[in-house]
């Protein structure tokens, strides 16, 4: 049966891939983006500020009006603006938190009033919630907040039959980045379609809730030694790099 999906953050490459994946599955998608871009896979595109209660309420009500209900909410909006903590202004900090954490909370708040039993919320988090990267204090803090929010909502609304989960992507790009990919056990960085596939799984998995699913090619399981070149690993570990079968 076709599902009614509200996608917050539909303008980004990850958002566009998520919209395409739901559409390919036969679902109808209302997307909320900065410019309200009506992409080819959206039933409707809305230009709204989902970081506010008013904007989020409008997004949900418009979705219910257009699609006849709401089955799945996807929270994929975020802003990554590198800035060292000692130099970040209050405005930059609050903007980073608002555009990542508020755009998760307020749409979820509005959706929980209308999601039926069996409804699903899937948030797009980041490995930066648990693995620090240079100069991203607001982004990392906000993504950690998103994961805490996911667990809390999963606990509180599970008895109503609403599931809440998240995916946690590593580096995502549309092109191969060989030097970066060396540190990934699967040997490549992620693509937007990888994230979309995981989002669709969590949206449909009816006995999974409160989970943060890594979509990072194994990045989050690797020790620092995994990022060294093979010759440096041999020097550090004092052993020969083995040849893998089928490599």
> Is 179 a catalytic site residue?
no
- The count of residues in the chain is 247
Binned at pLDDT 50, 70 and 90, residue 56 comes out as very high
- At 221 the pLDDT is 87
Per-residue model confidence as pLDDT tens digits over 139-188: 999 999 999 999 999 999 999 999 999 999 998 986 666 666 777 888 88
The answer to whether 139 is a known catalytic residue is: yes
Q: Which pLDDT belongs to residue 222?
A: 75
CATH of range 4-237; options 3.90.550.10, 3.30.360.10, 3.40.50.720, 3.30.950.10: 3.40.50.720
Residue 233 has pLDDT above 90, yes or no: no
Is the per-residue pLDDT at 97 higher than 80? yes
For 139, phi and psi rounded to 5 degrees? -65, -45
Active-site choice (143, 157, 184, 201): 143
Give the C-alpha separation, 81 to 141, whole Å.
Answer: 13
Q: Which residue has the higher pLDDT, 219 or 204?
A: 204
Residue 21 near residue 197 (C-beta atoms within 8 A): yes
Q: Taking all residues of the chain, what is their mean pLDDT, rounded to a whole number?
A: 91
pLDDT at 111 (0 to 100): 99
- For position 130, what pLDDT does the model report? 94
Mean pLDDT of 80-98: 93
pLDDT (0 to 100) of residue 184: 80
Q: How high is the pLDDT of residue 247?
A: 59
Tell me what pLDDT residue 242 has. 61
Q: At 8, phi and psi to the nearest 5?
A: -90, 125
Q: How confident is the model at residue 216 (pLDDT cuts 50, 70, 90)?
A: very high
Catalytic residue among 139, 157, 179, 201: 139
């Amino acid at each position: 049966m076709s599902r009614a999906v509200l996608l917050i953050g539909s303008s980004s490459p990850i958002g566009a891939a998520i919209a395409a994946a739901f559409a390919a599955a036969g679902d109808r998608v209302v997307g909320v983006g900065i410019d309200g871009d009506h992409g080819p896979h959206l039933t409707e595109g809305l230009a709204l500020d989902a970081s506010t209660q008013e904007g989020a309420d409008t997004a949900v009500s418009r979705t219910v009006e257009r699609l006849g209900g709401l089955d799945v909410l996807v929270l994929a909006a975020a802003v990554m603006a590198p800035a060292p903590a000692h130099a970040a202004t209050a405005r930059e900090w609050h903007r980073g938190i608002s555009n990542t954490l508020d755009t998760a909370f307020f749409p979820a708040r509005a959706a929980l009033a209308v999601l039926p039993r069996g409804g699903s919320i899937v948030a797009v988090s980041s490995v930066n919630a648990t693995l620090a990267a240079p100069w991203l204090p607001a982004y990392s803090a906000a993504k950690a907040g998103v994961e805490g929010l996911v667990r809390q909502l999963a606990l509180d609304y599970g008895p109503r039959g609403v599931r809440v989960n998240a995916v946690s992507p590593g580096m995502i790009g549309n092109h191969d980045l060989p030097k970066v990919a060396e540190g990934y056990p699967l040997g490549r960085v992620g693509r937007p379609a990888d994230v979309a596939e995981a989002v669709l799984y969590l949206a449909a998995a009816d006995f999974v809730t409160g989970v943060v699913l890594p979509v990072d090619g194994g990045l989050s399981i690797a020790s620092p030694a995994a990022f060294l070149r093979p010759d440096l690993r041999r020097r550090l570990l004092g052993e020969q790099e083995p040849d893998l079968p089928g490599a």
